[in-house]
Amino acid sequence: MKSSTVISSIPQRGGTAEFSRILCPTDFSEFSDLAFRYAQSLARHYRAKLFVQHVVELWRHPEAAFAPAHYYEEFRGYLLHKGEEEFRKFVKSNADNGIQPERVVGQGVAADSILALAEAQKVDLIVMGTHGRRGFDRLM
């Protein structure tokens, strides 16, 4: 199932939507690929600035909490470096030459980080892929 989710409070003038800042979070999945291409298309159409964000979620690696502090910092650095590397490859392989997105890599809880960046950059639109879940799993 291929889909993307568009979230926005759409600013309108004269009955048409106007977007000047678009955010597209990615987790490198096929759904993120599709959402990124769609976000690029919207950015090109509206001549909008495109932010692409990847969040490294350290909480997904609970084993790191049991390591000595210096190993934790080393592991954290490795995850951030790996995330930045994958992110660079993702943007390059899906790049539209007409659109130069601003890449943002962070760490934390994805939902919180996405909303914080959207607020800080005053984005008009968030375009993101879903994971193809249905029913109760999608609701949650």
Position 112 in a domain = yes
Q: Give the range of the structural domain holding residue 63, as residue numbers without chain letter.
A: 19-139
CA angle centred on 45, ends 106 and 7, rounded to 5°: 50
Q: What is the mean pLDDT of the chain?
A: 81
Rounded Cα gap, residues 63 and 69, in angstroms: 12
Number of separate domains in the chain:
1
CATH code of 42's domain = 3.40.50.620
Position 10 in a domain = no
Position 124 in a domain = yes
Rounded Cα gap, residues 52 and 28, in angstroms: 11
End-to-end alpha-carbon separation of the chain, Å?
A: 18
Query: pLDDT tens for residues 82-91?
Result: 888 888 888 8
Position 30 in a domain = yes
Position 69 in a domain = yes
User: What pTM does this model have?
Assistant: 0.75
Helix (H) or strand (E) holding 84: helix 69-93
Position 65 in a domain = yes
Query: pLDDT tens for residues 66-120?
Result: 778 778 888 888 888 888 888 888 888 877 767 888 989 888 899 999 999 999 9
Position 11 in a domain = no
